[in-house]
Structure 1
Amino acid sequence: MFRTKTLIIITALMVSFLIPTVAFAESDVVTFGTAIVQNDQATNDSIVISMSGVTPAAEGSPYNAVLVSSNGTKSLNLGEVEVVQPVIQGVVQATGNINLTFDSSSEGYDGQDLLSTYSRIKITNGSGGSTAYSDNIPANAAAYINGIMGELNTIDEHLNEALANIAVAQSATDVDEIKTSTASAMADASAIAELADGLPAHATAAAEVDVEDGNLAEGAAGVIASAANISAWVTAAKATADNDVASQTSAAVANIFVDKIFNELSAAKNGWDANTDGTISPSTGEGGSDQARASAQQMGTLTLEAKDLPGSETATVAVGGSSGGSVLGLGLPSVGEKLIINLLMMGAVLGIFITGVGSLILVRNRT
């Protein structure tokens, strides 16, 4: 009996020590800053790196920033990064800050869409040296983000053409010309709405790849809200064109409705400051295509930690959710994913539990 109780106590203690490790292992991660893709001369052609608490590089071996593709086959050298150590009350601090903007003024800039090619970043000890800080967007999440960007590009093409045609209608004085230009403006309304209605699925899928990534979740929410606005505004513009412009015999009256259509299409493209606070947020009633794009960029935020990059990976999903080389359409976890770590820890707990139970059975059989 004594040995049975002892084994129970030992097993319980071992499991209790490991369970907090599984639950809280991720809370000890220290982050040093972010790298965020932005627009300069083109879409997603610039990246801003902001870090703090960084240990200065060894003398003669300055840090170097490099973007890397998910599969590791492509890279872009962003150049050397300087650690600026603040001086407080005459004392130089032990750690410092990094602020680097790679844009059209930088060496190596070619205007390419950085998000479409790169989903990883590393800060190395010297050019080609070991990795001091890094982060990566999971390949599947990157695929969904790029899918969102691609569909936003198509939406913008349609909206730009629609706005050009409705501008012609605004300046027209002949009612038939107004009707013709308005009809041309709204020719792709259904296509725009359909594309916008498909964005939430991609945003949700991307966020589900890494549920612990706050930027993925917040950016996805912005895409979803803005997409709903785009669809609603374009649908409303189409209804105005069909119900109020097409039936008009007065050019003056028709132009009143044309102005309404212009405002709705403009909101779908640029957003609308509904609460007149001076900013347009990616929220219900405000965000348009521009805000949806900014939210997608937020989804691609890289949060730098003092670690090496995981092994290279290839996306196992295609935009729209179809599988790309995975069994039963399930995306396999990448090397180093948190899911694998947690499964290993859970396996360890289960193994200890089974060992303890087996020991109890053995003791009982012997007695």
Structure 2
Amino acid sequence: MRPVGIGIIGCGNISAAYLKAARGFPVLDIRAVADQRREAAEMRGAEFGIPARSVEDLLADPAIEIVLNLTIPAAHVEVGLRILAAGKHAYGEKPLGIDYRDATRLTAEADRRGLRLGSAPDTFLGGAHQAARRFVDEGHLGQMVGGTAFMMGPGHERWHPDPDFYYKPGGGPMLDMGPYYITDLVNLLGPVSRVVGLSPEPRRERTITSEPRRGQLIQVEVPTHVAGALQFASGAVVTMVMSFDVAGHKHLPLEVYGTEGSLTVPDPNHFGGAPLFLRKGGEWEEVAVTEPFADGNYRSIGLADMASAIRRNRPHRASGALALHVLEVMEAFARSAETGAAITIETRPERPAPLSADPSLTGILEETI
């Protein structure tokens, strides 16, 4: 398969993970990196042996077919629109945008131009999550009833060198970590139909405890503890809590329940681990993970799947439609908390196809492992 030329805009922390993982996918040909801060692009380019260019030059290069948008969340829509206007397919980090209505500009523009739009997270394509998907699809849980999703910790100022944006519009635990959990739940259960949310008043200041800014204060502008429930179009109801205000907890990250059994799903922020299944009246047992991409950090598999989809003329899995749905769901928590009402979700994306369901991907998997 002819490799797809890739350019990257945004050379911050996450770019290193993408560049490392991309080396394992021959369908991806990383041709250039760019950043508004030229020195950041040059540093990352030197690290990985990739040319650093200006954003304008990168967008003008006819050899680049997909541009990977790794800018901060507040810039995702505007940079994405620039990519599409340049005639390139766009794939971005999560979330798709920080405002649902604004993000619809991206999906509309991609459709208008006949271009692909994709978005992280792609961890749901990891071996553990595909194994859980297979187990659900095989009917072992019976009729799906509900689930739980918990991500609770003290906040990212403990470890991130420059954590301010986590507490500005576009940040907070829901928009930062919610995409992993909600995307994986849609992978398992299908689209969400309704959301109810609550959120207490956040602390207005937080103290950075990481280096090099230890002791500095961050002004908080977003909810930092969000709780509520998702009702899926299938009828299943999932309780969800996302928090940067909790010292610790003993809940598992993700569980789904059916009439015939319960399934624990490994952390949706990672690719590996093993699901556990409890049959009604039985004992917990480990679900065998025979699917690939369960033994490392494969951040960029969604990009590789989109590149493969372009070459093979098939749908890609980490789609703009899926990301827009997840953004609408996340935004609904805040709207529900403000209004006291349940929020009906308008979007209804198709459930992403499992990796095993597409024979055309088999060759790509064999080529990339």
Which bin holds the TM-score, normalised by the shorter protein?
A: under 0.3
Question: TM-score, length-normalised on structure 1?
Answer: 0.24
Q: Which has the higher strand share?
A: 2
Q: Which has the larger radius of gyration?
A: 1
